[in-house]
Structure 1
Amino acid sequence: MTAAPKVNFAVTPLLRIAYEEHGPASGEPVILLHGFPYDPRAFDEVAPALAQRGYRVVVPYLRGYGPTRFNNPAIARSGQQAALAQDLLDLMQALDIPQAALCGYDWGGRAACIVAALWPERVRCLVTGDGYNLQDIPHSTQPLGPEDEHRLWYQYYFHTARGVEGLRQNRRELCQLLWRLWSPTWQRGAELYPLTAPSFDNPDFVEVVIHSYRHRFGYAPGDPALEWMEEKLAAQPAIGVPSISLCGANDGVGPPSEHDDDAGHFTGRYERRVLAGVGHNIPQEAPEATLKALLDLLEG
């Protein structure tokens, strides 16, 4: 395992975003976005391979993770979907990236999907983990089937004061449990988890995570400055940029359905690829498939 690349910082209106960069500054930009509870280590086998092909690869730490910090204590520690999308737009602005290929999963996939839906001119192409990741918050209180509800136990745990304190006291152990449950057939999780776990020591991690899982159910107010975006997302806008959805067949939190229920949300070139033997942590479990999806869109 090679050493992690140097961490750089981009100052945006709300954050000092930490990011790692690979490849030539003149290369076509590709932004790789991790989810919860992960960090840029998820792309350790994807980013260098893209850089070797001449791409400029940017891998940020999302708000609440690693060295990323809010600019002042008064800023709301929001984890809502619109905040993640705005962070991505602000990062692109700070790095003078007018358009980029986006690849993300979980929280990062949500940010990528939102920007692709609302700002398609900024997105060259999209690789999304588990399809259409925009939250349908107006309908979020409708119960799911018992098996699906069972897999979301951690979200309901975070709705309670006990869950907040449990995450605060046991963040590393809890997140490691999620790694095991969500990637049940992955053999390298125990080996690689210690490389990511320090990112959860961020002082804002707990507050951002708790807000994320409460806001999506309507149990916490959002940032008033982002309400306009949430209103647009409530309409579930379509994604028209060239897109490939990667789904882990063994995903322990969101296993793919036999029928692609997300296909109707994509109006441009679109393909779903279900990856055998892969769980939720798609780019780290299946780096070759992730790389291939990006290159198929960029060079195919």
Structure 2
Amino acid sequence: MVERGTVRGGAVEIAYERHGDPAGWPVVLVHGFPYDPRCYDEVAARLAAAGADVVVPWMRGYGPTRYRDAQVVRSGQQVAFAHDLRDLVTGLGLRRPVVAGFDWGGRAACVAALLWPDLVGGLVSVDGYNVHDVAAMAATPEEPQVESRLWYQWYLHSERGRAGLAAHRRAFTRQLWREWSPTWEVPAGVFEATAASFDNPDFVDTVVHSYRVRYALEPGDPAYDADEAVVAAQPPITVPTIVVDTTADPLSPPMTLEQHRADLTDLVDHRLVATGHNPPQEDPVAFADAVLALHRHLG
């Protein structure tokens, strides 16, 4: 049985699905861009069968999650994501859950673990230390072959790009699914089941802000300035962590164990999975196994 509900956060009313026994060991699974909770359907079922209390939210700008104030910044900055995750965990009374995610969701999980390590029991992070160094990103270009794969970001830096996303949000996001998961044959109906979440009235503004604020092209929400200053120092993450690295994601080639250990002081395991950008949906068994392994490690 799947329960749906909402939690009143500081900036948004966070919609979520809950699988399994509410008395079980807690897990929060956070999706990325451009996905939604459907990417975790099989992972959540496997974890619930193993005794977990699994909570899967819609991130701000997606599905039924809504901003609470018409005037608040439709912020896609990393600390805003982390605050939403903290609000969800505390609002549901989850005690030191395992938090897991990729892309935006991985960033929410990493930044929450960095800022509030007592909140998080353990972390499963795709790509490891998924925390933006905004100052470095704003000043230092990547190699051209890397930059070319980020066309969607540069497109969204312009008002023409904002209009393009608004007019063609399904075609835009479907193109990214094709590019980012080149070895995955998306089953019939799977993209369509997720794409409805992109009809959220704040999807475009939140996405555009996310891809501008990370390069310091737009200011963040002043409400998060103090925590952004902490994150800007790029401190390590100290909670027990399992890293999942993907081998077929053109955006994120795998890193070495030593590279991950530089930023993750309690690295429990480093796992390679033969997927593209969306590992929980492309290989739900491997993703669920990573969460289960961390749960066993935590005892």
Q: TM-score range by the shorter chain?
A: over 0.9
Aligned mate of 2:272, from 271, 274, 287: 274
Q: Who is 1:192 aligned against?
A: 190
Q: Does 1:130 align with 2:155?
A: no
What residue in structure 2 maps to residue 255 of structure 1? Answer: 253
Deviation at 1:259, TM superposition (A): 7.1
Which residue does the alignment assign to 2:225? 227
* Identity between Structure 1 and Structure 2 (%): 48
2:127 corresponds to which letter in structure 1? D
Q: Which residue of 1 aligns with 2:15?
A: 18
Residue identity matched to 1:227: D
Superposed structure 1 runs of 4+ greater than 4 Å apart: 257-260
1:14 Cα deviation after fit: 1.7
2:216 aligned partner: 218
Q: Write out per-residue CA displacement over residues 102-126 of structure 1, whole angstroms, 9 at most, x where no aligned residue.
A: 0100000001001111211111111
How big is the shift at 1:203? Answer: 0.1
Residue equivalent to 1:114: 111
1:94 aligns with 2:91: yes
Instruction: Tell me the secondary structure at the aligned position of residue 43 of structure 1.
Output: helix
TM-score, with structure 1 as normaliser: 0.95
CA contact under 8 A between 2:7 and 2:87: conserved in structure 1? no
How far off is 1:163 after superposition? Answer: 0.5
- Residues 180 and 189 in structure 1, CA contact (< 8 A), matched pair in contact too: no
Partner residue, 1:289: 286
Does structure 2 conserve the Cα–Cα contact (< 8 Å) formed by 1:211 and 1:220? yes
Query: Does structure 2 retain, via aligned residues, the 8 Å contact 1:263–1:270?
Result: no
1:239 aligned partner: 237
CA distance, structure 1, for counterparts of residue 27 and residue 221 of structure 2: 28
3-state SS, counterpart of residue 42 of structure 2: coil
For residues 98 and 294 of structure 1, the distance between their equivalents in structure 2, rounded to whole angstroms, comes to 16
Q: In the alignment, does 2:82 pair up with 1:85?
A: yes
Spell out, residue by residue over 1:80-136, the C-alpha distance to the aligned partner (whole angstroms, 9 max, x if none): 001000000111121112311001000000010011112111111111011110000
Distance 1:269 1:208, change over 3 A: same
After TM superposition, the structure 1 = structure 2 runs for residues 136-215 of structure 1, keeping only pairs within 5 Å, are: 136-141=133-138, 142-188=140-186, 191-215=189-213
Output the amino acid matched with 1:156: W
The alignment covers a number of residue pairs equal to 296
CA RMSD of aligned residues (A): 1.5
For residues 198-251 of structure 1, what are the alpha-carbon distances to aligned partners after superposition, in whole Å with 9 as ceiling and x for unaligned? 000000000000000000000000011101111111111111111111121000
User: So what's the TM-score if we normalise by structure 2?
Assistant: 0.95
Paired with 2:40 and 2:30, the residues of 1 have a C-alpha distance of 9
1:6–1:56 distance in 2 versus 1, CA, 3 Å? closer
Please tell me the residue identity of whatever aligns with 1:272. Answer: H
Quick check: 185-194 or 55-64, which moved more? 185-194
How far is 1:191 from its partner?
4.1
Cα deviation per residue 1:4-54 (whole Å; 9 max; x = unaligned)? Answer: 944311112221111000111111110000000000001010101111122
Give, in whole Å, the separation in 2 of the partners of 1:188 and 1:204: 26
Distance in 1 of aligned mates of 2:204 and 2:174: 15
The alpha-carbon distance between structure 1 residues 147 and 189, as it changes in their structure 2 partners (threshold 3 A), is farther
Aligned partner letter, 2:39: A
Unaligned runs of 5+ in 1: none
Shift of 1:260: 5.6
How far has the Cα of 1:147 moved from its partner?
1.2
Q: Which amino acid aligns with 2:159?
A: A
- In the alignment, what sits opposite 1:105? 102
Whole-Å Cα distance in 2 between the matches of residues 120 and 259 of structure 1?
Answer: 22
Contact 2:261 2:267 in 1 (8 A): no
CA distance in 1, matches of 2:212, 2:259: 25
* 2:47 aligned residue: 50
